[in-house]
Amino acid sequence: MSARAFVSGLSLASLLVSAVACGPSAPPPSATPATWGGEVTPIVSVKELMRDVIDPLSDNIFLAVGIDVSKSGVKEWAPTSDEDWAKVRSGAVAMMEVSHLLKVPRLLAPKGDINNSTGPDAPELSPTAIRAKIEKDPVLWQAKIEALRNVGREVWDIVERKDTPALTDAIEHLDEACETCHLEFWYPGQMERSRKLRELDRQAREQAATSGTAPAGASRP
Ligand code: HEC
């Protein structure tokens, strides 16, 4: 009997046993424990996880493809060697796995750091305000985490295929995954401001259209 057949024979047997043993109130049988060593505990804040792991490793993806236009000409680059692709892959692995560390409740910023959150029009929420938002809507927080993880999977797959054109799209998806979480939880004021600017822009265009003049310095978001 092959090892595989033996294992599936075993799990069939244990399935039958548990089917018999399970009363209506018994928990569903689970082969894998929630962790391999007790609770998962955090050490650093979300801010430090961003600064020291997610941000630098996302650059392995963000900077993998690019174009630089300067006086000395146009320089384009994309991964070519196995080493280049390995770097992109390490970015993908970080996005897939480190993203889930954002599910572990932890400080938002180091103790005593209140972000750029004071004064009128403060650009950032305070760590306390961010925590309140997460606790009010953990499903949204989770969705943003899964979105980041999914882009990690997308990039991982691209590395397998060494598909450079797809990498360019994935970089856009990554940018979106970072930004939509930041706009929701870190600097939501910017979303409000850009909405207001768009509205002003629209009004200016309308006025210009009705009066036949050019839009009067409408600002763009
Ligand atoms: C699930 C939500 C979420 C996702 C996804 C996310 N971030 Fe963040 N990020 C945050 C929050 C919240 C903060 C603000 C923490 C604070 O300052 O209290 C932050 C802060 C940061 C900071 C500031 C760190 C500092 O030292 O001030 C950087 C840089 C950053 N994120 C980069 C990224 C990049 C790059 C990505 C995508 C690859 C990303 N983040 C994805 C939630 C997220």
Per-residue pLDDT of the chain (221 residues; tens, 9 = 90+): 444 544 454 555 555 444 445 555 666 666 888 899 999 999 999 999 999 999 999 999 999 999 999 999 999 999 999 999 999 999 999 999 999 999 999 999 999 999 999 998 899 999 999 999 999 999 999 999 999 999 999 999 999 999 999 999 999 999 999 999 999 999 998 877 777 777 788 888 888 877 765 444 444 44
Distance CA 83, CA 86 (A): 5
Ligand 1: atom nearest CA of 47 is 15
For atom 21 of ligand 1, which residue has the closest CA? 50
Say how many Å lie between the CA of residue 142 and the centre of ligand 1. 14
pLDDT at 221: 41
Ligand 1 pocket mutation, candidates 45, 48, 51, 54, criterion most atoms within 8 A of CB: 54
Residue to mutate (ligand 1; options 51, 140, 178, 180; most atoms within 8 A of CB)? 178
Query: What pLDDT, on the 0 to 100 scale, is given for residue 219?
Result: 45
Output the CA torsion 20→23→27→28 (10° steps). Answer: 40
Of 146, 183, 142, 148, nearest to 61 (Cα)? 148
180: which 2 tokens? Answer: 């939509």
Confidence at residue 220, expressed as pLDDT on a 0 to 100 scale:
42
